[in-house]
Amino acid sequence: MNLKTRYLYHEFGNFFILTLSIFILLFMVRPFLWLMDIIINHFFTIGTVGKFFIYSFFEVSPDIIALSFFTAVIGTVARMNMDREYWVFLISGISGRQILKFFFIAGLIFCFVEFWLCFFVAPSAIYKNRLLIRQARIDEPMKMFKPKSLIKNFPGISIYVDDIKGRTLHGVYISQKIGSDTVCVISAEEGKIQLNTDGYLSLLLENGSIVSHSIEKSRIILKTLFKEYSFLLPYRVVSDFNLEKRPKEMNLFLLIRNLSRQSDNQFFMIIFKKIFFVLLPIFYLFIGFYAGIGSRMHGYMHILGIGLLMGLLSYFIILVGESIVYKTGNVYLFFIVPLIFLFLVVLLNKRFSNVI
């Protein structure tokens, strides 16, 4: 029995790692294209690019892990069936139910993983990604600033920056014409871009001076030193200023709290969908096991291709169910999806119960 367990672990692990890599590549195409657009149109550093990919992966991790488990179960059983190893187990006195028990334990482990990912990891990743995108839009004007260059992108203002390190401007000089007679010159050792509550950008300057000149009289009107000074720029950022967590960005405790306070069906829909994903490995366990027994494969690549196709088809059913809910506004229609999966389990169990 220990030999059987080690063998199943090895076969299942190989298929799982392979399918996990494939699904990561498939699901990360959209974030990659989105990232290219962000890099072109906004300001992104290498650090934020890395964070973006990490958050994007954890955002779709519940889908990827569930589909990888499903495809690995199909692949393992189908490969054993193709090489007649499954039937060798039966002849040796190891029933199909004992093999199914191994996968059932693995399914329970994956249910706990899905619970953690769905209710805690994925919502946090979605929220942190939104913060990254917002920060990229705030930092977008950083593209205008170049070391040892005169910036004239802001009407009526000329800005010179001696050096730029990260998001910090060093050696900042600002010239602004006020009216027809006065020129204000501001110099500072450092400066950072900030966003006010109205969405306008400002430069938070440190350790500098403000000197106002009269052009006609050729004399200094005002001269003062400052430790900190906020200089408002005539540039407004189009961004989402509401940083409150959206329903999809809430963890389990926040969802339950809002569900008890509000009668909005959106919270019920999100909780129900997450619960369904938590239980999805159990559905996938039986569907994948019976599908593997009933399949007639002719090679490793054939097994992998069919397994991936079945995984994507099952995911398509979930997407269709979710689309129907958003189209009709009736959250109870999503119950159709688990009913379809339950029907498949019952149908396949009836068809192959004689060989386990």
Q: Which pLDDT value is given to residue 287?
A: 93
Domain finish residue from 236, 263, 280: 236
d(CA 18, CA 186): 59
Shared domain check, 269 and 128: yes
**Domain for residue 246, yes or no?**
no
- Comparison of pLDDT for 356 and 155, the residue scoring more: 155
Residue recorded with tokens 């805690």: 120
d(CA 332, CA 322): 11
Q: Which pLDDT value is given to residue 94?
A: 76
Mean local confidence (pLDDT), 162-177 = 89
Mean local confidence (pLDDT), 216-220 = 79
**Domain for residue 241, yes or no?**
no
Domain finish residue from 209, 236, 263: 236
**Domain for residue 231, yes or no?**
yes
Per-residue pLDDT band for 340 (boundaries 50, 70, 90) equals very high
Shared domain check, 224 and 94: no
Residue 3, pLDDT above cutoff 60: no
Q: Which pLDDT value is given to residue 239?
A: 57
d(CA 30, CA 310): 21
Shared domain check, 208 and 118: no
Shared domain check, 232 and 182: yes
Q: What is the share, in percent, of the chain residues with pLDDT greater than 70? A: 91
d(CA 286, CA 284): 6
Mean local confidence (pLDDT), 171-178 = 90
Q: What is the mean pLDDT of the chain?
A: 85
Element (H, E) at 191: strand 182-195
Q: Which pLDDT value is given to residue 236?
A: 75
**Domain for residue 158, yes or no?**
yes
Mean local confidence (pLDDT), 301-308 = 87
Q: Which pLDDT value is given to residue 317?
A: 92
Shared domain check, 204 and 293: no
Residue 46 vs residues 39, 53, 172: alpha-carbon distances, Å? 10, 11, 25
Shared domain check, 111 and 209: no
Q: Which pLDDT value is given to residue 242?
A: 59
Token pair, residue 147, equals 């070391």
Per-residue pLDDT band for 7 (boundaries 50, 70, 90) equals confident
pLDDT in tens, 113-168: 999 999 999 999 999 988 887 777 666 667 778 888 888 888 888 999 999 887 78
Mean local confidence (pLDDT), 299-314 = 88
Shared domain check, 148 and 74: no
Least confident of 8-17, 208-217, 239-248: 239-248
Angle between helices 2-27 and 300-328 (to 10 degrees): 60
Shared domain check, 127 and 6: yes
Mean local confidence (pLDDT), 34-59 = 80
**Domain for residue 123, yes or no?**
yes
Domain count, the chain: 2
d(CA 75, CA 252): 33
d(CA 33, CA 43): 16
Shared domain check, 148 and 83: no
Q: Which pLDDT value is given to residue 21?
A: 94
Q: Which pLDDT value is given to residue 121?
A: 96
Domain finish residue from 208, 236, 264: 236
Token pair, residue 245, equals 């967590």
Q: Which pLDDT value is given to residue 258?
A: 83
pTM above 0.85, yes or no: no
Write out the residue range of the structural domain in which residue 170 sits. Answer: 144-236
Residue 6, pLDDT above cutoff 80: no
Shared domain check, 348 and 255: yes
pLDDT in tens, 230-281: 998 887 766 555 578 888 899 999 888 887 776 567 788 888 889 999 999 9
CA 95 from centroid of its chain's CA atoms: 42
Per-residue pLDDT band for 36 (boundaries 50, 70, 90) equals confident
Mean local confidence (pLDDT), 69-78 = 92
Shared domain check, 267 and 205: no
Contacts of 131 (CB under 8 A, 6+ apart): 243
Least confident of 23-27, 159-163, 180-184, 305-309: 180-184
Shared domain check, 181 and 37: no
Q: Which pLDDT value is given to residue 262?
A: 61
**Domain for residue 40, yes or no?**
yes
**Domain for residue 242, yes or no?**
no
**Domain for residue 39, yes or no?**
yes
Q: Which pLDDT value is given to residue 41?
A: 63
